[in-house]
Structure 1
Amino acid sequence: MSELKNPQEEQATTNPLEGLDNVENELNRSAEFVEKNIKPLAIGIVAVVAVVLAIFLYRSFILAPKEQEAARSLYKAENLFARDSFNLALNGDENVTGFLEIIKEYGSTDAGEVAKAYAGLCYKGMGEYEKAIQYLKGFDNNDKMLTPTIKGAIGDCYLELKDINKAIDFYKKAASADNEFVTPVYLHRMGETCLKAGKTSEALKAFEELKKKYPNSSVTMDADKFIELAKASK
């Protein structure tokens, strides 16, 4: 990994913390973009998680300056993750500190916790769902946006492993957060999964709650269709 430049040099060149005054606005716009463009039947969980992780890291930069060294180590790995270079983002090379090494070096920091989430998502992207669950469950934080998003990602992994009941349980945990950005996504996913599993009453409840509490969410657009389908399947 290349040596860190001193703070003044980084601010003058490629400091990932440069322009923090504008970061929050950019993240908010990103969140709005994802929300408006999520397809109800093909929800992009990676996009959701990426936005939420970015917001969480921004808070760490502002509220805990001592986290900056760990956060800088995440910067290149995050870029690789965004390009779906999961193996390289996870393990790193001579130029990039991978998420696994960041966990080892900075596991007690907020950035180290975020690295656990990213590591889990890398394993998920590589189809190694059991390892993904291990790292995602290792994430320990009570952030009201990030925590339910990680619960939802765990649900996705269980769904891939054909463990429908555990998938539904984690979707329920994710949907229990009262969050206009995250909750509608997982209510919809829980409803679909319940419907496919023949749990029509639970599916109906999920879609009715989605329609009632989050009528303006883009994922609510097809709620009526699923409500009728659930009723017809009872």
Structure 2
Amino acid sequence: MAKKNNIGRRPTGTPRGGRRNAGNEGDQVRIEEDDTLVDIVEVRDQGLDFFERNRTIIIGAVIALIVLVAAALLYQTFIKAPAERNAAEQMQQAQYQFEQDSFSLALTNPGQGYPGFLDIADEYGNTKAGNLANYYAAVSYLNLGKYDAALDYLEDFDAEGELLPAMKAGVRGDLHSELDDFDAAIEDYEEAVEEAGDNYVTGGYYLNKLALLLRKEGRTDEALAAFERLKADFSLSNEATQADKYIATLR
């Protein structure tokens, strides 16, 4: 009596390689095809069984995902996008006063019924314009000599992109310098230069500030290295044109 083979197992005595008997070749091909078909059927049945056992959970998860995506689209279309536009429009008058160096007006009362940077940062804080209002407020307070308030608003400013991180670090350096915390200011200017990367305008501006502060603090070798780097790496910046005179006095 012929022995029955277990499903999915290779029958005993089936050739694995080398020479094949002509009579067994067709049987071997059919056995491999049957094994593949059995594997596919088993996988399909296991998948169906898993779905049946977890139908409620799976359907609930899919519905929840659809609801989340729809809610995100609705929020972006009907709430966030209009808020972004409104905040940008509301800030134009404050920006105008800022550009005129009217920092007090820019902060609280820019005129024509528009809000200042403080109100914009508070009311539209979750928008790009509201976030940028924190930076404007920090710089305004810096120019008004209110350094602690400036630091508070600067820390609330979320700097992203290629330019803003360098500007944030540079303004923090200015604030620490005004507060006579020169070690912290030096670290801030170093960070600003690093964040500036290949931007010769921003990089040269803050590297020059770093070099001047190092010179003021009597850190001659570091100041000389900073001025030499300014001339070599940021030669296109306005500040690089003054580097040679400082290099000559420091050598």
TM range (shorter): 0.5 to 0.7
- When the two chains are superposed, the root-mean-square deviation of aligned CA atoms in Å is 1.6
Cα offsets for 1:85-140 (capped at 9, x unmatched): 21121112671201111011111111111100000011111100111111112211
Q: CA deviation at 1:230?
A: 2.4
In structure 2, the partner of 1:48 is none
Report matched runs for 1:47-62 at 5 Å.
Answer: none
Give the match's secondary structure for 1:182. helix
In structure 2, the partner of 1:11 is none
Report matched runs for 1:78-227 at 5 Å.
Answer: 78-92=95-109, 95-176=113-194, 177-178=196-197, 179-227=199-247
Cα offsets for 1:189-217 (capped at 9, x unmatched): 10000000011122122111111112122
Give the Cα–Cα distance (whole angstroms) in 2 for the partners of residues 102 and 112 of structure 1: 6
5+ residue gaps in structure 1?
A: 1-63
Give the match's secondary structure for 2:236. coil
Cα offsets for 1:132-177 (capped at 9, x unmatched): 1111122112221122112111111111111111111111111112
Give the Cα–Cα distance (whole angstroms) in 1 for the partners of residues 250 and 211 of structure 2: 9
Give the match's secondary structure for 2:201. coil
Give the match's secondary structure for 1:181. helix
8 Å contact kept, 2:140–2:150: yes
Alignment size in residue pairs: 168
Over alpha carbons, which structure has the higher Rg? 2
Amino acid of the residue matched to residue 95 of structure 2?
Answer: E
Percent identity over paired residues: 38
Amino acid of the residue matched to residue 113 of structure 2?
Answer: N
Q: Which has the higher contact order (CA 8 A, sep 6+)?
A: 1
Q: Give the 3 Å change call, closer, same or farther, for CA 65–213 of structure 1 in structure 2.
A: farther
Give the Cα–Cα distance (whole angstroms) in 2 for the partners of residues 136 and 117 of structure 1: 6
In structure 1, the partner of 2:87 is 70
8 Å contact kept, 2:159–2:168: no
Amino acid of the residue matched to residue 152 of structure 2?
Answer: Q
Give the Cα–Cα distance (whole angstroms) in 1 for the partners of residues 242 and 201 of structure 2: 17
| Structure 1 runs (4+) greater than 6 angstroms displaced | none
Report matched runs for 1:4-23 at 5 Å.
Answer: none
Q: CA deviation at 1:65?
A: 5.5
Give the TM-score taking structure 1 as reference length. Answer: 0.68
8 Å contact kept, 2:141–2:147: yes
Q: CA deviation at 1:77?
A: 0.5
Give the match's secondary structure for 1:216. coil
8 Å contact kept, 2:90–2:115: yes
Task: Name which of structure 1's ranges 181-190 and 140-149 shifts more when overlaid on structure 2.
Answer: 140-149
